[in-house]
A and B are shown apart, each in its own frame.
Chain A
């Protein structure tokens, strides 16, 4: 049984920096591995890093709510891989990504660390997160347009008296 509550997550004081980081971590988590590998390959001045936590795969129990808004319940688990790295300047990056791909978790952690480094953030955003984020938004929009093409208007036929 999990009794964890997370009061920290609602603290408004540091929300801006945390929100920015959450946004890039989300983009990295949703990226295809080969896109991250390509971005890493294209990167000049690759940083040295060491593992605080080598990539590993585990499970996260996915929860839902009764009726969508009610009591929480356990729906089922998903595979998740994670990794933590430290750059030479001491900045720690975390990767938490769905699936079993260790390389992806590691690259997500490295990019998370680099994006926290104000000297490198602009470069990594331009090379990695911005193009990925745009591609993800485009895919989402396409899914939505295809769904919209199947929208129907049901008409209630009024019977003759």
Chain B
């Protein structure tokens, strides 16, 4: 895989250290307060074929130790991720520690991804899922750690029956996958402890 020209590589953070730290802080906030929308730090968007929030998360969280799986909609980001993150791109979803799903509607069964073990629940996959619509308020009721009573959220662009599958993921605790839902530059966290109804 030789990158003969620059076309295949998106630009990274303007300030690799500080922007990665800012994004990390945002990701932490998102997982600490599930369902709250946060904005990813600005990213020079040139060349990226995945959304800026998804790209920022990858730039801060992914490295050579974390195999990444890409769905068809995110496949074009492979070269950029290899270059900036040094991560292996795997074709077996079960071998991935991060999965970038460029099209939430095509998200298959969650059980394809690794859920960790009882002794090491951290050895599980984190899913970064791009959805069509993501805003505060609306039909979904979120409960669980990090939410005082209930948090309302609107998500469009996930497959039918997704929330039933999510409930199974929650019930598998301490095993399970965690998710970031991204929509352009906005994102929210959905850890395996968050119960979603509605």
Q: List chain A positions with a Cβ less than 8 A from chain B.
A: 1-4, 8, 18, 52-54, 56, 84, 86, 90-92, 116
Contacts and interface: CB of A to CB of B under 8 A. Distances in A.
A92 B9 CA distance: 10
A3 B97 CA distance: 11
A86 B12 contact: no
Interface string B1-25: 1111111010010001000000000
B80 to A, nearest CB: 10
Nearest to A92: B3
Contact of B65 (A1, A53, A91): A1
B65 A86 contact: no
B57 to A, nearest CB: 19
B20 to A, nearest CB: 12
B83 interface: yes
Interface residues on B, range: 10 to 19
Contact of A3 (B2, B84, B88): B88
7 contacts: A3-B67, A3-B95, A18-B2, A52-B9, A90-B5, A90-B6, A91-B5
B11 to A, nearest CB: 8
A1 B88 CA distance: 12
Contact of B88 (A4, A84, A86): A4
B83 A91 contact: no
Contacts of A84: 83
A18 B2 CA distance: 9
Can you list the 8 inter-chain pairs with the closest CB atoms, starting with the nearest? A90-B5, A4-B88, A86-B6, A92-B3, A90-B6, A52-B9, A8-B1, A92-B6
B79 to A, nearest CB: 11
B125 to A, nearest CB: 14
A1 B13 CA distance: 26
Contacts of B83: 52-53, 84
A49 to B, nearest CB: 11
Nearest to A50: B6
A2 B65 CA distance: 6
Nearest to A60: B64
B123 to A, nearest CB: 10
Contacts of B2: 18
Nearest to A61: B64
A84 B16 CA distance: 15
Contacts of B9: 52, 92
B117 to A, nearest CB: 15
Contact of A2 (B3, B12, B64): B64
A8 B6 CA distance: 21
Interface in B77-115: 83-84, 88, 95
Given A2-B64, A3-B67, A52-B83, A92 B5 contact: yes
A84 B8 CA distance: 14
Given A56-B16, A86-B6, A90-B5, 13 more contacts: A3-B67, A4-B64, A4-B67, A4-B88, A52-B9, A52-B83, A86-B5, A90-B4, A90-B6, A91-B4, A92-B4, A92-B6, A116-B4
A84 B84 CA distance: 11
Nearest to B7: A90
Pick from B3, B12, B16 the residue with the most CB of A within 10 Å. Answer: B3
A1 B95 CA distance: 12
A52 B13 CA distance: 11
